[in-house]
């Protein structure tokens, strides 16, 4: 079954509107959604990201440039994610529609490529497959 990542994106407007909501209410809302995903057997992982602590490594030059992030002029920040094991992008969209609404909030949905989609005779794919088997990921 394919896996999909639901990427939570937020704007300054989103963060401002969320500041008015009691933290306990946010946790309860997200907890109920996560619990529904667990009960449905589709949740693989879910994490929120710290909006303050971020480091950016820019690989566009000859040597990587490291700066504090997030970018100050960013219109949208990646605020958290879910990884779901669902049969289709349509089902991932349906789960995404259940997420809390807030001004400027968006969810990007991306299919996660399976290791089976890469050349199986490649040395690095063989090593990764062995590592995944040793760690119980396959």
* Domain 3-134 superfamily per CATH: Dimeric alpha+beta barrel (3.30.70.1060)
Measured on CA atoms in the order 113, 117, 122, 127, is the torsion positive or negative? positive
Q: What pLDDT does residue 18 have?
A: 81
Please indicate, yes or no, whether the overall pTM of this predicted structure exceeds 0.85: no
The count of other CB atoms within 10 Å of the CB of residue 14 is 19
d(CA 8, CA 13) in angstroms, rounded, equals 14
Q: 35-46, pLDDT tens digit by residue?
A: 999 999 999 999
Residues 6 or more apart whose CB falls under 8 angstroms from that of 23 comprise none
């Amino acid at each position: 079954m394919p896996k999909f990542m639901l990427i939570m994106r937020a704007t300054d407007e989103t963060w401002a509107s969320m500041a008015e909501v009691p933290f306990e209410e946010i946790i309860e809302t997200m907890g109920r959604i996560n619990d529904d995903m667990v009960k449905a057997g589709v949740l693989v992982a879910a994490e929120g990201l710290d909006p303050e602590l971020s480091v950016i490594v820019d690989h566009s030059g000859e040597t990587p440039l490291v700066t504090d992030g997030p970018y100050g002029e960013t219109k949208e920040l990646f605020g958290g994610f879910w990884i779901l094991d669902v049969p289709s992008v349509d089902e991932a969209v349906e789960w995404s529609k259940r997420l809390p609404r807030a001004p400027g909030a968006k969810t990007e949905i991306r299919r996660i490529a399976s290791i089976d989609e890469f050349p199986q005779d490649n040395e690095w794919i063989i090593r990764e497959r062995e590592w995944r088997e040793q760690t119980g990921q396959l």
